[in-house]
Chains A and B, each alone.
Chain A
Amino acid sequence: DAGVIQSPRHEVTEMGQEVTLRCKPISGHNSLFWYRQTMMRGLELLIYFNNNVPIDDSGMPEDRFSAKMPNASFSTLKIQPSEPRDSAVYFCASSLAIGELNEQFFGPGTRLTVL
């Protein structure tokens, strides 16, 4: 089992540029989560999907952030335009289903640096 796959692992970009982060969940998992981790704010849930449908995007910081899940095996998180305060590690996680007993498996993360 390859686990959750994220790409790229590292991204350095300049302020104002568009950034796209990618995630492939574990095969058979129906729920997908995007998190952001910073020293100041810790680990925050941005958005989650169930069966490819966005369920809760209340954690998305502003309209510059958008996420899509066009099929069960792929999701993207896009930031346009990017700002230095978006610098963080972004994690994707997946689980079999929504529910407390369904363990969330995290990917290795994408470290984003916006200059």
Chain B
Amino acid sequence: QQQVKQSPQSLIVQKGGISIINCAYENTAFDYFPWYQQFPGKGPALLIAIRPDVSEKKEGRFTISFNKSAKQFSLHIMDSQPGDSATYFCAAFLAGKLIFGQGTTLQVKP
């Protein structure tokens, strides 16, 4: 019940395309859902986050869509760029702890 399931494991997108990464959770007590971006050799960094009382949050080319009833949320990267190539982690927060999904490795081809 503490798990966050993320898919796909890897994703290849052409430059200018839309990248979509999906996550699902079981525990309805999770109260905050951040996405982290990690480049090779670096630590994860917060990209964007959403609370469960909001259905969508947009920051630049990055959008989180949140479906509370389905217990699912997704990250959309519009106009994907080669510089977006990284590993993306969804996460869920509860009682001081972040539970991370398994990660999605995104490759944006020029």
Contact = CB atoms under 8 A, between A and B. Distances in A.
Interface of A: 4, 42-45, 48, 50, 55-56, 91, 93, 98-101, 103-109
Q: Report, nearest first, the 5 A-B pairs whose CB atoms are least far apart.
A: A106-B43, A100-B32, A43-B100, A100-B93, A98-B96
- DSSP majority for the B interface? loop
A103 B46 CA distance: 7
Contacts of A105: 45
Contacts of A109: 42-43
Given A43-B89, A48-B96, A56-B97, A106 B45 contact: yes
A48 B94 CA distance: 13
Contact of B43 (A42, A45, A107): A107
B41 interface: yes
A28 B98 CA distance: 21
A50 B31 CA distance: 20
A105 B41 CA distance: 15
Give the secondary structure class of A's interface.
strand
Contacts of A55: 96
B103 to A, nearest CB: 6
A51 B7 CA distance: 36
A101 B34 CA distance: 10
9 contacts: A42-B89, A42-B103, A48-B97, A93-B43, A103-B46, A105-B45, A106-B43, A107-B43, A108-B41
Nearest to A58: B97
A100 B32 CA distance: 6
A50 B44 CA distance: 21
A44 B32 CA distance: 17
Nearest to B95: A56
Contacts of A104: 46, 98
